[in-house]
């Protein structure tokens, strides 16, 4: 049964974020309620539908623990260590049933929102991708559910739940995570300044200087390349679910500036968490 929680966790979270977390969890549960084969492979992942759902249930539980103020070590913050931690947690958690996992996903999203709304943990929280406040952690939870909700929808041949409003709520996490998931090898020797414009939403900058990455609150001075991205496409690229050339061919990304050829390189400078 879905928990009753405040729209935005007692006014602690930005407007719409609490509702988006609750509704996304419910929509993932609805996907699973119609899943006849939990052993079906998920396109683009090494997991089955059951394993992906189990990972979501575990991750929502982890986020709820963090929001409650309980420290939980999970890898060392690198994408490689997170993948190893995911594999270990799935091996130790045998549940693969659709209904139990759907209930866990919804329940733990509710526990997270109750904890945030109740002020269980304030200030900086230590997460699998470094320190975050509760707003960024809520954005992280939503982003993670949307990414794997998209995976499940593809596997089950159902519509996904990503929309522009939810993408906007993912941006606090994505901007925080960018320097932490940058591929130092891929960015080595690169000096470039990008302007990222999400159509209908935010505009911000990302600057590279020989492997170091800085996210800027607005467009950088003398931007080398401006990327205008349709919101859903932006999130799918950020999460490694869509490639730059594919997105540009579909018209989801437009690029211009002094060095427009830098556009397809941008997603390759990060390892999706």
Rounded distance between C-alpha atoms, residue 241 and residue 56, angstroms: 17
CA atoms within 13 A on the CB side of 211: 4
Contact yes or no for 141/21 (Cβ under 8 A): yes
Q: What percent of the chain has pLDDT over 70?
A: 96
Give yes or no on whether 17-172 and 182-269 have one common fold.
no
If one compares 228 and 121, the residue with the highest pLDDT of the two is 228
Q: Biggest alpha carbon distance in the chain?
A: 54
d(CA 206, CA 267): 12
Beta bridge partners of 156: none
Greatest mean pLDDT among 67-76, 154-163, 263-272: 154-163
May I ask the CATH architecture of the domain 17-172?
Answer: Up-down Bundle (1.20)
Tens digits of per-residue pLDDT, 174-217?
999 999 999 989 999 999 999 999 999 999 999 999 778 999 99
Of residues 121 and 167, more confidence is placed in 167
- The mean predicted confidence, pLDDT, of the chain is 91
Q: Are 60 and 105 in contact (CB under 8 A)?
A: yes
**Per-residue 3-state assignment (H helix, E strand, C coil) for the chain:** CCCCCCCCCCCCCCCCHHHHHHHHHHHHHHHHHCCCCCCCECCCCCCEHHHHHHHHHHHHHHHHHHHCCCCCCCCCCCHHHHHHHHHHHHHCCCCCCHHHHHHHHHHHHHHHHHHHHCCCCCCCEEECCEEECHHHHHHHHHHHHHHHHHHHHHHHCCCCCCCHHHHHHHHHHHHHHHHHCECHHHHCCCEEEEEEEECCCCEEEEEEECCEEEEECCCCCCCCEEEEECHHHHHHHHCCCCCHHHHHHCCCEEEECCCHHHHHHHHHHECCC
Q: What radius of gyration do the chain's Cα atoms show?
A: 18
Q: Who wins on pLDDT, 210 or 244?
A: 244
102: which residues sit within 8 A by CB, 6+ positions away? 28, 29, 30, 32, 33, 53
Q: Give tens-digit pLDDT for 89-148.
A: 999 999 999 999 999 999 999 999 999 988 766 778 889 888 999 999 999 999 999 999
Residue 4 pLDDT class (50, 70, 90 cuts): very low
| The pLDDT value given to residue 6 | 46
- pLDDT at position 2: 38
pLDDT score of 178: 94
Can you give the residue ranges of every domain in the chain? 17-172, 182-269
Look up the CATH architecture of domain 182-269: 2-Layer Sandwich (3.30)
Q: What is this structure's pTM? A: 0.93
């Amino acid at each position: 049964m879905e928990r009753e929680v405040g729209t935005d966790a007692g006014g602690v979270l930005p407007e719409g974020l609490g509702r988006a977390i609750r509704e996304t969890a419910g929509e993932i549960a609805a996907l699973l309620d119609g899943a006849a084969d939990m052993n079906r492979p998920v396109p683009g992942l090494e997991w089955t539908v059951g394993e992906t759902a189990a990972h979501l249930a575990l991750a929502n539980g982890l986020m709820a623990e963090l929001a409650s103020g309980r420290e939980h070590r999970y890898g060392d913050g690198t994408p490689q260590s997170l993948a190893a931690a995911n594999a270990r947690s799935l091996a130790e958690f045998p549940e693969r049933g659709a209904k139990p996992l759907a209930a866990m996903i919804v329940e733990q999203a509710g526990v997270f929102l109750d904890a945030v709304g109740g002020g269980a943990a304030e200030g900086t929280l230590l997460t699998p991708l470094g320190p975050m406040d509760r707003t960024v952690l809520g954005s992280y939870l939503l982003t993670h559910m949307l990414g794997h909700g998209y995976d499940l929808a593809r596997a089950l041949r159902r519509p996904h739940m990503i929309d522009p409003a939810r993408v906007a709520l993912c941006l606090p996490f994505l901007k925080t995570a960018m320097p932490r998931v940058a591929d130092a090898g891929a960015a080595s020797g690169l000096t470039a300044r990008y302007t990222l414009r999400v159509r209908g939403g935010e505009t911000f900058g990302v600057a590279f200087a020989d492997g170091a990455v800085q996210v800027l609150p607005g467009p950088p001075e003398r931007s080398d390349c401006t990327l205008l991205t349709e919101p859903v496409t932006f999130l799918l690229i950020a999460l490694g679910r869509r490639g730059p050339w594919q997105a540009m061919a579909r018209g989801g990304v437009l690029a211009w500036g002094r060095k427009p050829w830098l556009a397809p390189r941008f997603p390759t400078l990060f390892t999706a968490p």
